[in-house]
Structure 1
Amino acid sequence: MKRITVYCGSNDGKDPVYKAQALLLGRTLAKRNIELVYGGAHVGLMGAIADGALTEGGRVTGVLPHFLRDKEIAHERLTELLLVNTMSERKIKIEEMADGIIALPGGYGTLDELFETLTNAQLQLHQKPVGLLNTGGFYDGLVQLLDTMTTGGLLKEVNRNMLLVSNDIDELLDKMYNYTPPTESKWIQEKTN
């Protein structure tokens, strides 16, 4: 993997471990010579992951809508800042650029990005590994919900397993390197004529 996109919060969150892990993930990507692609802001966990990669000499590309740059949240020390017109264009560009995707703790925007990426993978629009860094158990409830969706017959197990989960950065990256995408249809019941 040459580029990993990271989705994460534009706030730090209350637990300092979120920011510490964002910084560490950024450093780890840079040390592994993996370019970071992310939302382009200097605030919150987004700023932390970029700072972590930049401190280790990593390449960091941000993708930011014009209206957010106008609010002065653009990170000014990035290797490259790509400006787009809308949040939708940002999501498309970030996903296109990635060889793999990781979600850190975040809010609605992070979940929106994560689930759109997973849906696209489920529909076989891409075959990129998607990881969830479950820092401090932040996503335990989400993982439980996905398991409930699977046992309830609303999500195939093979599609549930597309989301790689770990609370350890190196373990998560190893899972992503070894990922094999599913080849079967997402539909639980095949169409009948």
Structure 2
Amino acid sequence: MPNLETYNILIKISCRKRQFDQAKKLLDWMWSYGVRPDGYSYGTLINGLVKCGTLLDALKVFDEVSERGLTPDVTCYNILIDGYIKSGLVDEAKEIFQRLTTDSEVYPSVVTYNVMINGLSKCGYVSESLEFWRRMKVNERKLDVFDEGGEEKFVRRLEKNGGLKLEEGRKKVEEGERKNRGEKMNIWVKFLNYHPLGGALLRKTTGILKQVVT
């Protein structure tokens, strides 16, 4: 009788061939024959469906994990969130993220936050992208989204996708906790430096920046 590893290989092959109905049947057979699927079993199928743009089918498979008494691992969440973000379905992506945060057995990883931060900024949701950056800092996740020049890339993306308006930036700076203000100011200054009108904007915000460091 095939074991878990064998079934997972067959599911992976089926998904590569886009034979998703066959992959679903394999999952059903696993349950029928007493072979308990794992996160990889479902994650492979979810990933295949997402890559083909069939997000509703991917969500149904994702929901089946819980219905079967299993807990979706964070990888399954990340795949689904990334799929919705890349399809421009930001609200749906945020709903999946919310489900993850209320799940008592798994929690957002660095990858999860990076998907949300990068995806939101690419879609032009500058304010919300910065909010997820703040939440990652509060939750003490490693800020690798800004490692090796990532911070400058992030700021450039903010500018490219709609820009960071003066009033929006001011609110973001002022609403942060004091312990995070230094990082927020750094982001704001870098944005101003990259912006074509950065010099003028920087002069206008001198008072705001002084408030941050005092």
Q: TM-score, normalised by structure 2?
A: 0.27
Q: Say which structure is richer in helix.
A: 2
Quick check: which has more Rg, 1 or 2?
2
Q: TM-score, normalised by structure 1?
A: 0.29
Q: Tell me: higher relative CO, structure 1 or 2? Use CA pairs within 8 A at least 6 residues apart.
A: 1
